[in-house]
């Protein structure tokens, strides 16, 4: 009998659109066992508000004998909650349920009881206010699993990875080191081979400064750090080039991935052209994690205006990575 991947979904902030877009997957069929890790009563209430006819089935994610067909059904591993949720109003009271949902899914993947996690959007400030050190899913999951987390946003046309993620801009330069660039390229290259089936990934590396430093006239990081790192990587057999000026590199389409130096150097580009169809995949972890490309959008929660496209793409990507990695 063919073994289907078991994919867990954590919908994130319950007052936002995470619950809305999740309910939409009841209309889709995936070649996997999809289990939502959330409060079943809140899901039922949201479906009623959205006027969606969905059957929520309470299951234990650790059970192997789970149904495959999710058409009009959503399997739910229930997370207890006794706090009221008001749509459009994130609250620190939601934090324990969000964290328990995420921790439950992470633990299941670490214990090999699930194959991947797909995460929905959260309000970082709410979780930080609650007391969690939460600069983002990427970093939080890494604290639980180990590894070196690397954020990669990708669509059918473009893959972008980040050397630094959720840090203040004035802290970025000191995080750009030869060692970090070399390590990240090694991890990215290995994961593109293992998880995406790209035999010899070509990675283009951005400079930090305008025009990639203009040969040292607009900043020294390129000449002193980035170029030596690229030279070392080439000498060790990695297919890399750069540093490239960020104002032109994204107009090219001759590499498998572009490694950007910081968050807003690259994300506005891919989100301008592909928003709603982008997947956020975390590389460098011992588990498989994908996510949506958007936030909680609390202003449209509960209105039937949320687009589930990114969640659907994230689920499909997680299934493809599991199959590529484990042959399931």
pLDDT tens track for 126-182 = 888 888 877 788 889 999 999 999 999 999 889 999 999 989 999 999 999 999 999
Mean pLDDT rounded to a whole number for the chain: 93
**274 pLDDT band (50/70/90 cuts)?**
confident
CATH of the domain at 238: 3.40.718.10
**Cα separation of 88 and 260, whole Å?**
34
Full residue range of the structural domain in which residue 254 is found: 148-281
Do 130 and 15 share a structural domain? Answer: yes
The pLDDT confidence band at residue 97, using thresholds 50, 70 and 90, is very high
How confident is the model at residue 2, as a pLDDT?
Answer: 53
Output helix, strand, coil percentages for the chain, rounded to the nearest 5: 40, 15, 40
Q: Which residue has the higher pLDDT, 258 or 274?
A: 258
Same domain, 48 and 84: yes
Q: CA triplet 289, 254, 310: central angle to 5 degrees?
A: 30
Identify whether residues 323 and 264 lie together within a single domain. no
Average pLDDT of the residues in 81-99: 92
Please report which confidence band the pLDDT of residue 18 belongs to, taking 50, 70 and 90 as the band edges: very high
Region 292-316: mean pLDDT is 94
Q: Which residues pair with 160 in a beta bridge?
A: 153, 258
- Give the end of a domain, one of 245, 260, 281: 281
Q: Which residues pair with 77 in a beta bridge?
A: 37
Residue 109, SS3?
Answer: helix
pLDDT reading at 70 higher than 70:
no
Q: How many domains does the chain have?
A: 2
> Is 155 in the same domain as 125?
no
- Please tell me which residue, 93 or 135, carries the higher pLDDT value: 93
Task: Determine the pLDDT at residue 233.
Answer: 98
**Strand pairing class (159-162; 150-154):** antiparallel
Quote the percentage of the chain above a pLDDT of 90: 79
Q: Give the model's pLDDT for residue 1.
A: 33
At residue 83, the pLDDT reads 86
- Is 134 found in the same domain as 5? yes
pLDDT surpassing 80 at residue 98: yes
For residues 95 and 35, state if they share a domain. yes
pLDDT given at position 131: 84
Q: How confident is the model at residue 281 (pLDDT cuts 50, 70, 90)?
A: very high
pTM over 0.75: yes
Q: Name the CA dihedral angle for 111, 112, 113, 115, rounded to a multiple of 10 degrees.
A: 130
pLDDT range class, residue 50, cuts 50, 70, 90: very high
Same domain (yes/no): 118, 163? no
Q: Are residues 217 and 305 in the same domain?
A: no
309 and 263 part of one domain: no
**pLDDT for res 138:** 86
Residues 153 and 110 in one domain: no
Same domain? 249 vs 139: no
> Using one digit for the tens of pLDDT, what is the confidence trace for 188-202?
999 999 999 999 999
Residue 328 binned pLDDT confidence (cut-offs 50, 70, 90): low
- pLDDT of 216 > 90? The answer is no
Query: Could you give the percent of the chain with pLDDT greater than 70?
Result: 98
Determine the longest span between alpha carbons in the chain, in angstroms. Answer: 64
Considering the domain architecture, whether residues 249 and 207 belong to the same structural domain is answered as yes
């Amino acid at each position: 009998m063919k073994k289907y991947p078991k994919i867990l979904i954590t919908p994130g902030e319950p007052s936002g659109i995470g619950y809305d877009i999740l309910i939409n997957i009841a209309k889709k069929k995936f070649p996997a066992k999809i289990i939502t890790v959330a409060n079943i009563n809140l899901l039922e209430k949201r479906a009623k508000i959205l006027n969606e006819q969905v059957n929520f089935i309470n299951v234990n994610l650790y059970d192997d004998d789970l149904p495959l067909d999710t058409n009009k059904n959503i399997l739910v591993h229930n997370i207890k909650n006794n706090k009221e949720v008001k749509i459009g109003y994130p609250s620190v009271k939601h934090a324990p349920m969000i964290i328990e949902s995420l921790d439950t899914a992470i633990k299941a993947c670490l214990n090999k009881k699930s194959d991947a996690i797909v995460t929905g959007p959260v309000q970082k400030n709410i979780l930080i206010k609650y007391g969690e050190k939460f600069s983002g899913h990427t970093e939080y999951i890494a604290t639980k699993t180990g590894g070196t987390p690397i954020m990669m946003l990708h669509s059918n046309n473009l893959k972008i990875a980040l050397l630094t993620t959720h840090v203040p801009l004035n802290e970025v330069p000191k995080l750009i080191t030869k060692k970090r660039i070399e390590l990240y390229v090694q991890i990215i290259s290995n994961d593109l081979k293992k998880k995406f089936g790209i035999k010899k990934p070509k990675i283009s590396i951005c400079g930090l400064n305008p025009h990639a430093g203009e040969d040292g006239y607009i900043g020294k990081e390129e000449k002193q750090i980035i170029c030596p790192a690229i030279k070392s990587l080439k000498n060790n057999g990695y297919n890399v080039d750069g540093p490239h000026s960020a104002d032109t590199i994204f107009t090219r389409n001759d590499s498998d991935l572009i490694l950007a130096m910081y968050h807003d150097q690259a994300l506005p580009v891919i989100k301008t052209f592909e928003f709603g169809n982008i997947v956020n995949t975390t590389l460098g972890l011992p588990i498989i994690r994908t996510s949506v490309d958007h936030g909680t959008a609390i202003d449209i929660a509960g209105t039937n205006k949320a687009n589930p496209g990114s969640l659907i793409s994230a689920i499909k990507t997680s299934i493809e990575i599991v199959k590529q990695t484990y042959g399931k």
